Amino acid sequence: MNKLPKEFLLGGSISGPQTEGWTNKKNDNIFDYWYKNEPSDFFNSIGPDVTSNMFNTYKEDIKLFKKVGLKIFRTTVQWSRLFKNIETWEVDEENVEFYRDYFSELKKADIKVVLNLFHFDIPYFWHQKGGWENKIFTDAFAKYAEICFNTFGDLIDSWATMNEPIVVSESFYAHDFWWPKLNNFKKGIQVSYNEILASAKAIKKFKTIFKDDSKKEISIILNLTPAIPKDNEIENVYAAKMKDLFSNRFFLDASIKGEIPSLLIEKLTEMECMFEYTTEELDLIKNNTIDFLGVNYYAPCRVEAPKKENLNNKDMSRFFEQYFWPEAKMNIYRGWEIFPNSISDICKIIKDEYNNIKWFMSENGMGVQDEERFLVDGVVHDDYRIDFIKEHLNFLSKGISEGANCFAYCIWAPIDCWSWANSYKNRYGLIRVDLKDQKRTIKKSGEYFKKVSDTKEI
């Protein structure tokens, strides 16, 4: 049996828009607006209006979080909740009180908080002004961040500027997964750069506000998808290198080293997709890097060289296409491969190539459909989730014993929550939410999690 270090923390991650519901929220974010206009785009037409209703239940939920062993917890402040009026920046005092009480309850429960500022939830007001395509939004983001630092800084030591910036640029802008489904690769690249810039601007504010407090630290949350070539053929290895460059290194290098990889710039220029930047902006990115990193890991991406006819495409399909490994063990509900082995690569890369920066696993988990099938005496017997957590923790523990500077593992999610367009199709929680009456029940995985959290024995 493997053991995690004594001081290692087990915890959970959620986000505001996926758990709080609309009670007392005065502004729409982009998902709220999309749902109001196209409810059928969401699985079973279930939107973000109620979600897991945590605005009203956080006190009781925190008691349950303690019962499933959380020692660290990440959620997001919602920009669309913090203000009465997004345009005038008038803060909503009732919602400030809500967040302050929420974070104080977590503190009382001895749960360390990592507070994230942005989790895909672009305020609709800013979306109308171009959202992440418009550089003005990067200044607005820094101002919003500054307000959060000043409003919650006495309660929070560990912060994150944003979650999974690449999902934002891909899902809304480069592809057509999420409304407004722009499907424009070049815009997606500009958005990625603008997010990097906004994160650096927020970090600059952070470092000014907390210059005398060495306890305060800030991170960014990146979803790392290790790229695995189909085989050792030179063109497939190159395809994996390109996938890694665009999906992982772009954000890792910018956030940790303060640099955009020169190979990426070369490729983007070749493709006529280079982002617009200034040297002042690049200096700002260089001088405002993170203190620690959050890593979301779900699945690797297997790739092979593209077909000949795609070699001149002006998007990623000129570099690689996805390869479906016939032996892959799949989470069939989410369509993601289950491959805990990639955690070893993540540990190694951060250790060897990113100065062994301090990091935590900020998301990892398994979404499963129709979990009612596994109810026995009112408890979901989710042995598949226990196996999933165990396998991933084993690889993490091995990485740590080989020197990875990883201090915590956060499950996505401690409680069932709303999954964007997938709504409540797949459940991720250690705690079940019955959508009929919002009743909470700890799943079998919750008991397991608590045991590991207490004993560190996987």
Asked if residue 420 binds ligand BGP (CB under 6 A), the reply is yes
Q: Which stretch binds ligand BGP (CB under 6 A): 159-167, 174-182, 248-256, 271-279?
A: 159-167
Q: How far is the CB of 298 from ligand BGP (least distance, A)?
A: 7
Token readout for 138 is 């990067």
Question: Could you tell me which stretch among 3-11, 209-217, 280-288, 417-425 binds ligand BGP (CB under 6 A)?
Answer: 417-425
Kindly write out the interface string for residues 365-384 of this chain, putting x where it contacts ligand BGP by CB under 6 A and - elsewhere: --x-----------------
Are the beta carbons of 333 and 425 closer than 8 angstroms? Answer: yes
Bridge partners (DSSP) of residue 427 are: 368
Q: How many angstroms separate the first and last alpha carbons of the chain?
A: 7
3-state secondary structure of 376: strand
Q: Which of 8, 12, 15, 127 binds ligand BGP (CB under 6 A)?
A: 15
With CB atoms as reference, the residue minimizing the distance to ligand BGP is: 419
Does residue 31 belong to the site contacting ligand BGP (CB under 6 A)?
A: no
The structure tokens listed for 336 are 């993601």
Q: Does 412 bind ligand BGP (CB under 6 A)?
A: yes
To ligand BGP, the closest distance from the beta carbon of 248 in angstroms equals 14
- Considering 164, 170, 304, 337, which one is annotated as catalytic? 164
Residue 223 engages ligand BGP in binding (rule: CB under 6 A)? yes
Which residues are 163's β-sheet partners? 221
Would the CA dihedral through 77, 126, 48, 173 be positive or negative? negative
Q: Is the dihedral of CA 420, 426, 431, 433 positive or negative?
A: positive
Residue 405: CB minimum distance to ligand BGP, A: 22
- Kindly state the tokens that stand for 291: 């203190």
Q: How far is CA 132 from CA 18, 45, 221, in A?
A: 21, 27, 17
Identity of the residue, 281 or 363, whose beta carbon is nearer to ligand BGP in the bound complex: 363
Q: Does 167 bind ligand BGP (CB under 6 A)?
A: yes
**363 has catalytic annotation:** yes
Q: Considering the complex, state which of residue 164 and residue 315 has its C-beta at the smaller distance from ligand BGP.
A: 164
233 catalytic residue (yes or no): no
Asked if 64 and 76 touch (Cβ cutoff 8 Å), the reply is: no
Q: In what order do the strands lie in the sheet with 321-322?
A: 227-229, 301-304, 321-322
Binder among 27, 76, 426, 445 for ligand BGP (CB under 6 A): 426
Strands 439-442 and 431-434: antiparallel
Contacting residues toward ligand BGP, per CB under 6 A: 15, 18, 163-164, 167, 223, 296, 334, 363, 367, 412, 419-420, 422, 426
Active site residues: 164, 363
